[in-house]
Each structure stands twice: as structure tokens, then as C-alpha cells.
Structure 1
């Protein structure tokens, strides 16, 4: 059962903090506070609230797949034979547990899942297919798309320019 996220009220300062952290999550609290025109104590308190509320899920470093030997990106559509809740959950758990699977989406209509994979090369892709899909008797169909050029990769959310009006 999916959790319903509790709506959090964000003001203009919260939005500036989020915008700055999306651009550079390595900013010190002092630098972040200066950039959003607030005191370091206020900034720290707000970031803590944004993390505790789940608005900030995590702070990460984005790495270059090519420079680290993982230059093949595949977007894979997966259709299962049986779509009962337990079958969907079982496949999802296997996909999520695989480190080469970067993103997992249940989708509708069409395939049951869309996965984004990052592997070294085609032999590594074939090994992953064998392990994750071929050995699963419930996987009916796969359709893979291979990236030949990444024009944009920006895991950044568009934020409102100002806080929405209150109730």
C-alpha cells in the first residue's frame, strides 16, 4: 500500500534553500545561509525540517558513468505475465535490489515497469538481463532502448518562483 505524503508548507526562504541545494548540495551551512539571506541558525533549522519532512530525500554526488566505466545506459520496458500485487512487488523488490538498476517505475498503461540501467557495456547488459529477467518465469516481455547520446541529465525539480498562497 502506497503512503500518502503529507503536504508541507514552503515559504520563499525554503524555496531558495531548495533551489541552492539542487544546484550544489556541498555548500556549507554558512555559505547556504548567506546565499539565501538568512542566519546560519535559521538556515540549519530549515534544512533539518526539510530533511525530516522528506522534502529533501538525500544529498548525493552525481558521478560520470563514462569516466567510471559504466558507459551503457539502457531504458527497459518490462511486462509481467501475472500482475497480481504480490507478483508486481516481487519483481520490484528484485529490480530495486540490483545496483545496476538506477530507476524503477511502475507504469500504466503499457508495460508494467520501466527501468533505467547503467552498466559497463553490452556483455554486462546481457549478464544483467540473464540474472534479472530471463531467470524470472513471470517476465513475459522486454523492450530495451540503448542511449547513444545523453543530451541532458538534470535530476532537478522545477520549483515555484514564490511560495503558494496559504489556506
Structure 2
């Protein structure tokens, strides 16, 4: 039975919680933490992956440590307002920004601007080139408002989960 056909049980919720905290855990270690056998653990994690509940497993780099190694770079939150907000225009903009490595996150928002982006660029000339590619040459972009980050106080990707039943 797939996860979409049944509710998540306490073991599923524990697995998701543990994997959100540390996806590098071995199957053996994960199984011990949630008190199931390694084969059961592996089968359940595969089911959660197949159901799309786990989108991907990545390494989160330390911005401060990386800055000492490769330079500080720029982090910006960018608000975008389009002239036209029909479905085709919104999807075209999303497709365009999805192809840019510098755009780490893209949110369609309401009310206010149409999109909020989180962007990382090497320096100001790199940011300028990005803005020209994404915004200046796009006739549908009406307004761009950029906020440059001076310090990252919190960063996370953890999704709050309900308490195990």
C-alpha cells in the first residue's frame, strides 16, 4: 500500500523527522533510532521516496565557512511584480528562473509582488548580469525590489510534522 493510500504512521513520521535532521544516517543507524529492523527501515524509506514525500537528499553548505574559502558573495531576497499575471505568464517566469543556478528559491506569493526569490551571486557584477537576464530583458517584468542580506540569522528546510499518533 502506498503512502498516498494510507496515513503516515508513527514510524513514518519518526523516519521523516530523523532524515530531516540528518539524511546521512546509515540505514542501520536510522533503523536503530526508530526501533525497526534494517530491512523494514529501508523498505519504508523507499516507500516515502517513491511517494514523493522525500524530494531529495542534499548537503547544506556553511555560508560563513564557504565565504572564507571562496569569498562572501551576495545573498538577496528579490520581489518581482509582473505586468500580466495570467497562468501562462506566471508559468513562463517560473520556468525562466528555475533554469538559473543563482536562484535558490522561488515563491509565487499573494498579495503584494507576484514572486519572491532568494538569489546568491558571486559579486555585484554577477548580480547585475543575472538581473539583466531575468528582469531587464523580460518585457513582462514591471517592478523589481531587491533586499541584500547582511547576515543570515536562521536557515532551515525542516517541515514541521504532526506528533506521532
TM-score by length of 2: 0.90
Which of 14, 20, 41 in structure 2 is aligned with 1:22?
20
Alpha-carbon distance change, 84 to 48 in structure 1, aligned in 2, over 3 angstroms:
same
1:139 match: 141
User: How far, CA to CA, are the matches of 1:115 and 1:93 in structure 2?
Assistant: 13
User: How far, CA to CA, are the matches of 1:70 and 1:106 in structure 2?
Assistant: 28
**TM-superposition CA deviations, 1:59-79 (whole Å, max 9, x none):** 111113441446311110100
User: How far, CA to CA, are the matches of 2:159 and 2:6 in structure 1?
Assistant: 16
* Contact 1:65-1:71 at 8 Å conserved across structures: no
Secondary structure of the equivalent of 2:92? helix
User: Of Structure 1 and Structure 2, which has the larger fraction of its residues in helix?
Assistant: 2
Alpha-carbon distance change, 57 to 70 in structure 1, aligned in 2, over 3 angstroms:
farther
TM-score by length of 1: 0.89
**TM-superposition CA deviations, 1:75-129 (whole Å, max 9, x none):** 1010011112111111111011111001111111111111110111222111111
1:35 match: 33
- CA shift for structure 1 position 14: 0.9
**TM-superposition CA deviations, 1:10-44 (whole Å, max 9, x none):** 11111111111111101110111011111001100
Please report the RMSD computed on the Cα atoms of aligned residues, expressed in angstroms.
1.5
Which of 118, 126, 129 in structure 2 is aligned with 1:116?
118
1:104 match: 106
Secondary structure of the equivalent of 2:32? helix
User: How far, CA to CA, are the matches of 2:135 and 2:115 in structure 1?
Assistant: 12
Secondary structure of the equivalent of 1:22? helix
Which of 85, 90, 93 in structure 2 is aligned with 1:91?
93
Matched, 1:150 2:138: no
User: How far, CA to CA, are the matches of 2:61 and 2:37 in structure 1?
Assistant: 32
1:72 match: 74
Which runs of no fewer than 5 residues in structure 2 stay unpaired? Answer: none
Which runs of no fewer than 5 residues in structure 1 stay unpaired? Answer: 1-5
Secondary structure of the equivalent of 1:46? helix
- CA shift for structure 1 position 7: 7.3
* Contact 1:29-1:43 at 8 Å conserved across structures: yes
Secondary structure of the equivalent of 2:55? coil
1:51 match: 49
- CA shift for structure 1 position 156: 0.6
